[in-house]
A and B are shown apart, each in its own frame.
Chain A
Amino acid sequence: MNTERIVGKSVPRKEGRDKVTGESKYVDDMVLPNMLFGATVRSQVPRGRITKITFGPGIAWEEFVVVSAKDIPGKNCIALIGEDQPCLASEVVNHPEEPILLLAHPDRHLLPQAVAAISIDYESLPAIFTIEQSEHRSEIIWGEDNVFKTYLIEKGSFDGIWEKADYIVEGEYSTGAQEQLYIENNGMIAAYDEAQGITVWGSLQCPYYIHKALMALCNFPAEKVRVVQMETGGAFGGKEEYPSMIAAHAALLAIKAGRPVKIVYDRMEDMAATTKRHPSRTRHRTAVSRDGKILGGEIDFTIDGGAYATLSSVVLSRGVIHAGGPYYWPSVRIRAKAVATNAPPHGAFRGFGAPQSLFAMERHMDRIAQIVGLSPVEIRRRNFLQAGQATTTAQVVREPIDLGKLLDRALDVSDYEAKKQRFAKQNQLGASKKGMGIAAFLHGAGFTGSGERYLSSVVGVEGCADGSVRVLVSSTEFGQGTKTVLSQIAAEALRLPYENVSMAQPDTLEVPNSGPTVASRTVMVVGKLVQSAALGIAQTLISSGLLREGYSPDAFRAACQQHVAKLGAIRSWSRYEAPSGIFWDDQAYRGEAYAAFAWAIYIAEVTVDLTTYSVSVDDFVALQEVGKVLHPLLARGQIIGGIAQGIGFSLYEKVVWQNGRMQNGQMTNYIMPTSSDLPSIRVFFEELGNIHGAYGAKGIGELPMDGPAPAIVNAIEDALGVPFDSIPLLPEDIMVGLAASSPVGSTDGGQ
């Protein structure tokens, strides 16, 4: 049965010792000889035409290196999916904080005053800031219609559904922007040399995204661009695409200066200028039978992409595919669109559209339950997807998942029914009210649809001169444990001790493109490739006659040493191949959206204080099926960390906007949970396995971000009897909501 020795065990984190001793080197810890410091001059208006740039008095401008769009050797864009986002604005600006000029100086203390001494005049243009303004199209700020991307998912027939329905349930739900708030701010160092080209070192998730962007920007061939990841202090999606911008800026300054340049943002610049989670609006209209079965429905999912397209089309894709939740829809029509506004582009953040559409789905299930007169438990039970049924994209669930059983276990460990009854009694008295809330959800692992086929990831495994094994991937570690788990997989495949496997630093000179470190794909997709590349090393040694089947670790080491000494380096490569029978239609948005889904039931217990309207989460049960758990300690850490961010998303983290600019870009006034704000978070795993993942693993990183917000807001409704459909839900929002719902003292038609 279970013969694995290393996967499934909580081995020590590869880079853990350096992290607890402070020896790990992050980008701001690195200093190069002769290095300058760089700063960015940004737009102060949301939209306008640049008419004049003035370098003010009192600054020794001759000491500064100044870069504008004119200095860009290649294309003035940050090449990603499209090429619409400029590296430096030259004529018009489309959002506050858009980069216009770059400065560098040997003394970093002089940069803030120099930035402040540059004044830019604009001919101002009308700007738009909300989804509704963008849809209204009174101003077109992007393309022909302000729309970056649309999708339509259709399944089944709507004939007679609305007439047949016993209930038609409608709701509108919205979620706000959320800052990733990695504790290490963004930063890059670039150095240029005519022979070798440009090298950047930085805090980043996706070395090859930056590689591609710098090739287009500098008009350099692939071999003249080198990207090296430093230890990265948290990312959560926030270092997926924006680091390409900072790398581009550092590179331009380094090329012009002929000296290395470091750009490290301070917190306020990082929060104001870089990406956040897309704000969203979801509308549901659902036909439901008397016994609570969903007959069909329409879902309209819209996200605010900010001023440039960046990753909005793929965020929208994940959002729309998850919009129907873990339920069976006999018929459904889901329309999705990403629209432009004059805010800095919104981007990747753990969950990538799914937390937004699933918040709506799970709030809507509670609304349906109430209208039909069933409990939140029963409405879910009656509509859960069953093995053999098809999702909204017509993907048949082939694994033996039983969401009803998962729900039973979560109800049991959270003591749901007993607590619900007790709270219903207690809530009649007292200055606080308690409630229980459920969220049921799924999260697809890996790139959507044909994405993994396009990525065509490659990984390498190398047998080294000392007989050890080294894994070559561009997959990056930023807290999740990439280095640890991929080493476990290689060690397991080769039946070697974990200590005999090391990881190459992600450096595009050394490692192949194993795709971006995003989308909960690293362990499942890249891990599977590491497994097969590792086996290739053993095969090489065996076929060269140096090693026999059933080898010991010592024999492997000796054979590897001999091979390298006599026959040269051993490297084994493995490239992604789509599993057979996987079908995806990009036009109709139908088919196997993901190679695997993880499934989960989360249950929150909350107390609402009726004096301060603050909400505390008192207990949180997180039960999930994530395939095989390869490293229990890291997996639990991922789940708890994701839930903490989800609690922040629900109750604390509010981006205050004014004319497209974040007004509270400080940790003083953008509030994330501290250690004393969080409940005990109880994590439970079910392990069904997964044939597409390394040793049965599925993706895990994003899943825990999806459930907390709906579970908590459902619990708040359970406590107060008043629905809230918008997050973040701050005490003042609860106060207003309660006042509006109360027949006494209501001022705005609450009855």
Chain B
Amino acid sequence: MTDFRGSHKAEISLIVNGELKKVQAYPMERLLDVLRFELGLTGAKEGCGEGECGSCSVLMDGALVNSCLVPVLQAAGTSIVTIEGLARRDTLHVLQEAFLECGGAQCGICTPGMILAAVHLLNAKPQPTVDEIREGLSGNLCRCTGYAQIVEAVAEAARRRSSV
């Protein structure tokens, strides 16, 4: 953790889950901390703080990023999607539904990042093979599931989306 008191807070604008947000933040503060502590979006989690575990994953202009490695300045002007932005009112996103039904969430701590990684994967490859799913999620660590039911959830979501 860094002491930012040598620098000055600046107003930074970004779009989060479709809404324009203006925050007062130190430019080098982590996007993760701004989301969690300034905007109250605690769905993104800190697991390692060094970009290894992926539990802080969010989408930034459609790219999957570890928000613990992104200075908030870099996110200025971008559009961020967090787990809180996936469900539409009471309707879960197809991936959230599939994770529930297939047992893709156990303790739940990696789940928000994992689901966003899966959203990113299905955007790039709507019908991935099992190997492509395993590869596509390999930046997100899960200690509970051994991944099998996560992989099955993503395959199931892809199947449902194609049949709509």
Contacts and interface: CB of A to CB of B under 8 A. Distances in A.
Contacts of A667: 47-48, 50, 52-53, 141
B92 A20 contact: yes
B52 A20 contact: no
Interface in A7-59: 10, 12-13, 15-26, 28-29, 31
Contact of B146 (A21, A233, A481, A641): A641
A19 B141 contact: no
B112 interface: yes
Q: Which of B4, B55, B84, B145 has the most CB of A within 10 A?
A: B145
Nearest to B107: A479
A668 B42 CA distance: 24
Contacts of A691: none
B73 to A, nearest CB: 17
A109 B108 contact: no
Contact of A109 (B3, B45, B146): B3
A637 B4 contact: no
A181 interface: yes
Nearest to A481: B106
A637 to B, nearest CB: 5
B120 to A, nearest CB: 14
B100 A20 contact: yes
Contacts of A111: 1
B80 interface: no
Give the interface SS of chain B, mostly helix, strand, loop or mixed.
loop
Contacts of B46: 28, 185, 266
Given A21-B87, A666-B52, A645 B3 contact: no
B158 to A, nearest CB: 16
B150 A675 contact: yes
B83 A636 contact: no
Interface string B84-119: 101100001000110111111111111110010000
Given A183-B110, A478-B107, A675-B138, A109 B2 contact: yes
Interface in B31-50: 36-37, 41-50
B50 A233 contact: no
A640 B145 contact: yes
B67 interface: no
B142 interface: yes
A22 B43 contact: yes
Contacts of A183: 45, 47, 53, 55, 107, 109-110, 141-143
A637 B145 contact: yes
B146 A643 contact: yes
A645 B146 CA distance: 8
Contacts of B142: 183, 675
Contacts of A673: 146
Interface in A230-265: 231-236
B148 interface: yes
A184 B103 contact: no
B151 interface: yes
Interface in A668-688: 668, 672-676, 678, 680-681
Interface string A281-299: 0000000000000000000
Given A22-B42, A674-B141, A267 B49 contact: yes
A479 B144 contact: yes
B144 A641 contact: yes
B16 interface: no
Nearest to B29: A109
Interface in A70-120: 108-113
A183 B114 CA distance: 12
Contacts of A458: none
A22 B37 CA distance: 15
Given A21-B92, A183-B141, A676 B135 contact: yes
Contacts of B96: 20-21
A637 B106 contact: yes
A110 B101 CA distance: 44
Contacts of B36: 29
B45 A26 contact: yes
A233 to B, nearest CB: 3
Contact of A184 (B47, B82, B135): B47
Interface string B130-163: 0101110111111111111111000000000000
Contact of A676 (B37, B134, B146, B149): B134
A236 B143 contact: yes
B108 A637 contact: no
A25 B36 CA distance: 12
A674 B136 CA distance: 11
B149 A636 contact: yes
A234 B145 contact: no
A284 B76 CA distance: 64
Nearest to B97: A20
A393 interface: no
A234 B109 contact: yes
Nearest to B100: A16
Given A16-B100, A113-B3, A675-B151, A266 B111 contact: no
B149 A637 contact: yes
B146 A640 contact: yes
Interface string A215-234: 00000000000000001111
A345 to B, nearest CB: 21
B48 A184 contact: no
A25 B145 contact: no
Contacts of A16: 100, 105
A29 B37 CA distance: 9
Nearest to A670: B52
A634 interface: yes
B111 to A, nearest CB: 5
Given A233-B109, A641-B144, A668 B50 contact: yes
Nearest to A232: B107
A675 B137 contact: yes
A182 B84 contact: no
A181 B49 CA distance: 14
A344 to B, nearest CB: 20
A637 B107 contact: no
Contacts of A26: 42, 45, 109
Contacts of A668: 48, 50, 52
A633 interface: yes
B72 to A, nearest CB: 14
11 contacts: A112-B1, A233-B107, A266-B49, A640-B145, A641-B106, A641-B145, A666-B50, A666-B52, A667-B50, A667-B52, A674-B141
Interface of A: 10, 12-13, 15-26, 28-29, 31, 108-113, 180-185, 231-236, 266-267, 478-481, 633-634, 636-637, 640-645, 666-668, 672-676, 678, 680-681
Given A676-B134, A681-B146, 18 more contacts: A20-B99, A22-B111, A26-B109, A31-B37, A108-B1, A109-B3, A232-B107, A233-B45, A234-B107, A266-B49, A480-B106, A634-B103, A644-B146, A666-B50, A668-B48, A673-B146, A675-B140, A680-B148
9 residue pairs, one from A and one from B, having the closest CB atoms: A22-B43, A233-B109, A19-B108, A644-B146, A479-B107, A22-B83, A479-B106, A667-B52, A29-B42
Interface of B: 1-5, 36-37, 41-50, 52-53, 55, 82-84, 86-87, 92, 96-97, 99-112, 115, 131, 133-135, 137-151
